[in-house]
Amino acid sequence: MSGTEGRSGFFARPKVRLVLARVIVVVGIVMALFAVVTARYGFLFAGIIVIGLGAALGPARIRKDGARRP
């Protein structure tokens, strides 16, 4: 239909996901540090959530071809 059935998407590539995950984690760390310095606990909570989202995008979510499934 759209002609993209055989190709993987841009964000499905392992390198792109790794870089994106690292950038998101760094943004979360900066938010958390800013929150601790300025005592804004809403930013601290948001920073922790962003760090968790970045960790979920990381390479642990990408399975290798030979990986065993539990």
Q: What is the pLDDT of residue 15?
A: 80
What are the extents of the domains in the chain? 10-61
pLDDT per position as a tens digit, 10-66? 766 778 888 888 888 899 899 889 888 998 888 889 989 988 888 888 766 555 555
Give SS3 for 5: coil
How deeply is 12 buried, as exposed, middle or buried, from its count of CB atoms within 10 A (0-12, 13-18, 19+)? exposed
How deeply is 50 buried, as exposed, middle or buried, from its count of CB atoms within 10 A (0-12, 13-18, 19+)? buried
**Position 67 pLDDT exceeds 80:** no
How deeply is 58 buried, as exposed, middle or buried, from its count of CB atoms within 10 A (0-12, 13-18, 19+)? middle
**CB-CB neighbours of 44 under 10 Å:** 17
